[in-house]
Amino acid sequence: MNDNTADGQALTEIQMAAAAAPAPTVVVAPTLNDAAQQACEDTVRILAEAVANRGVAHLALTGGSGGVALADSLAPLIVAQPEQLRHAIHLWFGDERFVPAGDPERNDLLASPLIAAGVPESQVHRLAAPQNVSGLDEATARMVHELEAAGLASGGFDVVHVGLGPDAHVCSLFPGHPAALAVGAPAVAVRSSPKPPAQRYSLTFETLQRAGRIMVVAGGEGKAEAARRGLGAPDVVRAPASCCRGRETTWYLDESASAGRSAV
């Protein structure tokens, strides 16, 4: 790719930022649920520190198998916290599918157990559904406005939970897809997603790389190669996960997903 092109410049910017970030730490647990439990215990500790220091905490959730395991583990930990902490948490989403509210495809359904645990519904930042906006661009623009108003475009996320696709995609930033090279905004509208549904919203790498802690959670043999590539040298085109590095980054893997790490 010609580095004088806009895409070439974006690629260089994203990969240089990833290379400059601290190397990820890897935690290996027997099962995906064990890995998620460890991630959630660390999440609650970081959120508590944020609330103590600033009076508010910002957490971005993920979808997929990792997201389900995280939501199941996080809810009982949240409900055990003081009301002051529970009421100070804001929930966001690393990506979302542009489908009707309540659709089983939506990642925001995973917020339900956390709301039941005491996180206020008013502090759950959901992508507008198709029936409520003119289209994906308006829904994304609204979310960009919310992110900017909360200061999250410049590094305000305390924790971002990230799942890992078998193709090494993260959020809705897929290998070779132009949305993965989006810069200059905290989020991007994703069209023609290689994984249905076709229309999605995603945080950009700029936002992810400014987060306080990135937590990548994955399990199963099918994620071993993706984990190997994601823990390798930054390559946003072939392995977007390799560029998902914040001020601190921890990968929580089960034993099967960690099997390929020796080849890194």
Q: How far apart are CA 105 and CA 108, in angstroms?
A: 9
pLDDT of residue 155: 78
Tokens 């993706």 locate to: 226
Cα–Cα dist 62/95, whole Å:
7
Tokens 């599918």 found at: 97
pLDDT at 219: 96
Tokens standing for residue 52: 């103590």
Domain residue extents for the chain:
2-258
Q: Are 256 and 35 in contact (CB under 8 A)?
A: no
Torsion angle defined by CA atoms of residues 188, 162, 260 and 249, in that order, rounded to the nearest 10 degrees? 100
Whether 235 and 9 have beta carbons less than 8 Å apart is answered as no
Query: Using one digit for the tens of pLDDT, what is the confidence trace for 40-84?
Result: 999 999 999 999 999 999 999 999 999 999 999 999 999 999 999
Q: How far is CA 149 from the centre of its chain?
A: 19
What is the pLDDT at residue 262? 55
Alpha-carbon span 169 to 241, nearest angstrom: 6
User: Is residue 256 classed as helix, strand or coil in its secondary structure?
Assistant: coil
The residues, any chain, with a CB within 8 Å of residue 200's CB and separated by 6 or more, are: 95, 96, 97, 98, 172, 189, 190, 193
pLDDT in tens, 138-195: 999 999 999 999 999 877 899 999 999 999 999 999 999 999 999 999 999 999 999 9
Work out the mean pLDDT of the chain and round it to a whole number: 95
Question: Widest CA span of the chain, in angstroms?
Answer: 53
pLDDT in tens, 200-249: 999 999 999 999 999 999 999 999 999 999 999 999 999 999 999 999 99
Instruction: Give the CATH class of 2-258.
Output: alpha beta
Cα separation, 110 vs 94, in Å, equals 12
pLDDT tens digits for 96-133?
999 999 999 999 999 999 999 999 999 999 999 999 99
pLDDT > 70? residue 263: no
